[in-house]
Structure 1
Amino acid sequence: MAELGAHLTVASAGDDRPSIFEAVAQDGLMAAVKPALQHLVKVLAESNPGRYGSLWRWFDEVYVVLDLLLQQHCLARCSASFSENFYGLKRITLGDCRQQPLATAGLPKRQHWKSLLLLVLVPYLKGKLEKLVSSLRDEDEYSIHPPSSPWKRFYRAFLAAYPFVNMTWEGWFLIQQLCYILGKAQHHSPLLRLAGVRLVRLTAEDIQALEKRSAAAPSSQALSIKSRVQSAARKALGGAAFSLSTGLSVSIFFLQFLDWWYSSENQETIKSLTALPTPPPPVHLDHAAASALLPEPKTVCPLCRKTRVNATALSTSGFVFCYRCIYSHVKAHQSCPVTGYATELQHLVKLYSPES
């Protein structure tokens, strides 16, 4: 049985294709980096909402710009994405079967821009669609719109169709990977086929060319002023992308440590280390500000100044409001109206009194 599956991990001498495990591993590399950065930004936003709150609200857009810069740098420098270069792979066009160009030669413009758009734009749109589906499910659960409204019927139909669309999308990738394992396809991902490229391993000549390119220092003495400005701009962007790629390479090992730290066998240790006393109220809320924001009776909503209806608490701050008041505020501002802490709709907690 092991002999039959040996070809999945070890390629033959004349085969330059990566194994399915290498291909899948490089796909999951960037997917693991984004949640780690998102958690870091969330912690910063919760600690200082005034300074980092906008960074948390626009995290997807900031990340896609950084991802675009990083992938552009890697594609132009080594004909591969960041994760593909990390695993020693490169992209070549479908016609380059016998004589492969060096990794430093870059891809043709058509394949380069198609690869860049598919690497950056598709994950961004997929993430936005998942967030839209999550928000629509929350609205459908809490019945914000009347049941007979056209918008209610529309997004209920959309929510009913989304699982089938997502299943078709994931099934397309699964079938492509199965064909790649069986040797019936040159791509393990449909996105590579749409870009018109395939993955191969870096050769010794590719590694030598990349090392020479990194060591070479282009002379700028004979350049004109315009060329010097363009060269300086390219160097600045390249330096920023190189710093980002180097930082991500180092952070990958740190992610492994986080996986170990938050594993189940370390939960008791984490609880003992984090068993700290209850933190005090927000520092920026003095007594005058607190008296202005919070009503005297504890049963009054701080937003509408009326007796609370359908009491709902925020898990980020602990204050209690009317459900409709706090839902509208969090959806519009993504923050607690009293403390300013970064807050999302899933942080709303329904309170049930003994009388109800």
Structure 2
Amino acid sequence: MAERGAHLTAAAAPAGRPSAFEAVAQDSLAAALNPALRHLLRVLAESNPGRFGSLWHWFDEAYVLLDLLLQHHYLGSCSASFSENFYSLKRVPTAERGPHAPATAGLPRRHHWKSLILLVLVPYLKGKLEKLVSSLREEDEYSIHPPSSSWKRFYRAFLAAYPFVNMAWEGWFLVQQLCYILGKAQHHSPLLRLAGVRLVRLTAEDIQALEKKVGATSSQTPGIKTQVQSAVRKALGGIAFSLSTGLSVSVFFLQFLDWWYSSENQETIKSLTALPTPPPPVHLDHEAGSALLPKLKTVCPLCRKIRVNATALSTSGFVFCYRCVYSYVKTHQRCPITGYATELQHLVKLYSPES
């Protein structure tokens, strides 16, 4: 049913106009990149905080620079953002009618920079605003000081108004998408409308032009005067290409990690990987075991005296004098009672409240 609905939606759309499924899918891909990279960097920072801790602290700013590089490259070479090019879409000015310029021509300068700002800066500012609201809410919940200053009264009013502002923002996007589905609007997102562009599918001529551009770039031999510029362009293009080819695989891999380390899945993993309870020692019968153990719990089974510096073995749980069990384990590498293999690292000193 879903495939048939997607087919009917695509068939009902005008020629060149992407379906609502394609438009929403590319938005979802663009929104998934930040959490995926954030999760990857968090894992690296937790495993090696000395090397990746500072990068984790400035993750938002580093991601903005990478996103700026990536989107600038694709807008200039493919007339589309990274996610739009992934779904074979391109941007054209809204006022442009008739045959469109090839994708390799890029957007006009004004539309290029407006698109770049709305693609990179708006999500960054929205994320920073959400973090600010979260921190202010925590401070407001755990603060014991009354709102005596005008600043505290202001941010409390801001916290009260933010849910309504956010609802209006999300509702704006929802209404725009509904109008796009019903064929009443040319843009599925208000940001496209603000940028003065709309999305269309890549044509066969666009795909051929992109392939020719890639072939021409690889066959050209730059002159001496343009070697530095060519090296910079190749470096930027290589970074953008590596991001574009690796992010799609990374998104799936990181989503798998999220599922694997989720609390629901951990219960299943523990039940599957839990070690069985070891059986009691078979080389000792009940009478022999009772002969080895003293009747008084405060007596050491080795020296048969009151324990001094009580020390337990983590492998068996029996308690001895520290000197007795230390010498025995160092010599025999096993528990004196059960015979379990034991090392010196398994000695656990016990401290009573009286000591």
TM over 0.5: same fold?
yes
Residue 249 of structure 1 corresponds to: 248
Residue 85 of structure 2 corresponds to: 85
Q: Deviation per CA, 1:318-348, whole angstroms, max 9, x where unpaired?
A: xxxxxxxxxxxxxxxxxxxxxxxxxxxxxxx
Amino acid at match of 2:88: G
C-alpha change, 1:233 and 1:25, in structure 2 (3 Å) is: same
Amino acid at match of 1:250: V
Residue 41 of structure 2 corresponds to: 41
Q: CA deviation at 1:235?
A: 1.6
1:12 and 1:5 map into 2 onto residues whose CA distance is 10
Q: CA deviation at 1:145?
A: 4.2
Q: CA deviation at 1:243?
A: 1.4
Where do 5+ consecutive residues of structure 2 fail to align? 276-355
The answer as to whether partners of 2:40 and 2:254 remain within 8 angstroms in 1 is no
Q: Deviation per CA, 1:210-263, whole angstroms, max 9, x where unpaired?
A: 112122225335x342x2222221221111111111111322332454466467
Amino acid at match of 1:193: R
Residue 220 of structure 1 corresponds to: 221
C-alpha change, 1:67 and 1:245, in structure 2 (3 Å) is: same
1:131 and 1:19 map into 2 onto residues whose CA distance is 34
The answer as to whether partners of 2:16 and 2:201 remain within 8 angstroms in 1 is yes
2:171 and 2:13 map into 1 onto residues whose CA distance is 32
**Sequence identity percentage:** 79
The answer as to whether partners of 1:8 and 1:20 remain within 8 angstroms in 2 is no
C-alpha change, 1:183 and 1:7, in structure 2 (3 Å) is: farther
Residue 76 of structure 1 corresponds to: 76
Residue 138 of structure 1 corresponds to: 138
User: What aligned pairs does 1:1-356 form with structure 2 within 5 A after superposition?
Assistant: 9-12=9-12, 14-143=14-143, 145-216=145-216, 217-221=218-222, 223-225=223-225, 227-255=226-254, 257-258=256-257, 261=260, 266-272=265-271
Structure 1 window deviating more from structure 2 (265-274 vs 235-244): it is 265-274
Q: Secondary structure at the match of 2:192?
A: helix
1:10 and 1:193 map into 2 onto residues whose CA distance is 22
Q: Secondary structure at the match of 1:179?
A: helix
1:228 and 1:268 map into 2 onto residues whose CA distance is 58
Q: Secondary structure at the match of 1:248?
A: helix
Q: Secondary structure at the match of 1:10?
A: helix
Q: Secondary structure at the match of 1:21?
A: helix
Amino acid at match of 1:101: A
C-alpha change, 1:8 and 1:110, in structure 2 (3 Å) is: farther
The answer as to whether partners of 1:145 and 1:152 remain within 8 angstroms in 2 is no
2:8 and 2:186 map into 1 onto residues whose CA distance is 14
Structure 1 window deviating more from structure 2 (81-90 vs 47-56): it is 47-56
1:129 and 1:219 map into 2 onto residues whose CA distance is 46
2:118 and 2:196 map into 1 onto residues whose CA distance is 11
Q: What's the C-alpha RMSD, in Å, of the aligned pairs? A: 2.6
Instruction: Give the TM-score normalised by structure 1.
Output: 0.70
Point out the structure with max Rg over C-alpha: 2
1:35 and 1:13 map into 2 onto residues whose CA distance is 32
Instruction: Give the TM-score normalised by structure 2.
Output: 0.71
C-alpha change, 1:199 and 1:224, in structure 2 (3 Å) is: same
2:78 and 2:272 map into 1 onto residues whose CA distance is 44
C-alpha change, 1:179 and 1:157, in structure 2 (3 Å) is: same
The answer as to whether partners of 2:13 and 2:19 remain within 8 angstroms in 1 is no
The answer as to whether partners of 1:8 and 1:19 remain within 8 angstroms in 2 is no
Amino acid at match of 2:56: W
Q: CA deviation at 1:75?
A: 0.8
Amino acid at match of 2:236: L
Aligned residues: 273
Structure 1 window deviating more from structure 2 (190-199 vs 29-38): it is 29-38
Residue 344 of structure 2 corresponds to: none
The answer as to whether partners of 1:26 and 1:84 remain within 8 angstroms in 2 is yes
The answer as to whether partners of 1:11 and 1:17 remain within 8 angstroms in 2 is no
Q: Deviation per CA, 1:251-280, whole angstroms, max 9, x where unpaired?
A: 23324544664678744433347869xxxx
Amino acid at match of 2:97: C
The answer as to whether partners of 2:39 and 2:254 remain within 8 angstroms in 1 is no
Amino acid at match of 1:166: N
1:32 and 1:8 map into 2 onto residues whose CA distance is 27
